[in-house]
Amino acid sequence: MGFTCKIFGHKWNGCKCIKCGVRREEGHNWLIVEGKCIEKCSICGKEHTIEHDWNGGKCRRCGMDKQIETLLNECVDELVQMYIWAPRGFPMVRDETMSVRIVGKKLADAGGFKLMLEAHKRFVLKNPYMGRNLEMCWDGIGGWAG
Ligand SMILES: [Zn+2]
Ligand SMILES: [Zn+2]
Ligand SMILES: [Zn+2]
């Protein structure tokens, strides 16, 4: 924190102090990223996802397929549930890894490596500590290299 901010307090421009550069979690200026269902703050660059704009089976904005999106959500939920019972991750030698691999295979069949990557990304948001374990469990599926 800058010296003047310490005495007089921050001078906020939305989410960022214009005097010392410190950021806060309020006052973001969200702008929709062209062609994506993502909003980005024009001040600090932070991103978050927004609801898709469904038009029949496809998103008007980003072109996402509704069935794929549903599958993605289901798979991520399933994985999150599985890891509740394996708080230290899945040991590579046991049969339990199979259930995680089945989900990976489902994703690979529906959308290949790209979809697995997206699912992995979403999973990590919910369970940051197990991202590496999931990578290893999925080794070899749909071109995935853990
Ligand atoms: Zn400041
Ligand atoms: Zn911001
Ligand atoms: Zn979308």
Q: Are residues 87 and 127 in the same domain?
A: yes
**Could you tell me the residue range of the domain that residue 22 belongs to?**
3-49
Count Cα atoms within 13 angstroms, Cβ side, for 106: 18
CA of 94 from ligand 3 middle (Å) equals 38
Q: Are residues 92 and 136 in the same domain?
A: yes
32: confidence class by pLDDT, cuts 50, 70, 90 = very high
pTM for the whole thing?
0.76
Which pLDDT score, from 0 to 100, does residue 1 have? 63
CA of 41 from ligand 1 middle (Å) equals 19
CA of 55 from ligand 3 middle (Å) equals 10
Q: What sign has the CA pseudo-torsion 50, 53, 57, 62?
A: negative
Element (H, E) at 34: none
Ligand with smallest separation from the Cα of 19: 1
Ligand with smallest separation from the Cα of 17: 1
Average pLDDT of the residues in 95-124? 94
Tokens of residue 139, six digits: 């080794």
Average pLDDT of the residues in 108-122? 95
Q: Are residues 72 and 16 in the same domain?
A: no
Residue 58, in any domain of the structure: no
The region, left, alpha or beta by phi > 0 then psi within -120 to 50, assigned to residue 45 is left
Q: Are residues 69 and 136 in the same domain?
A: yes
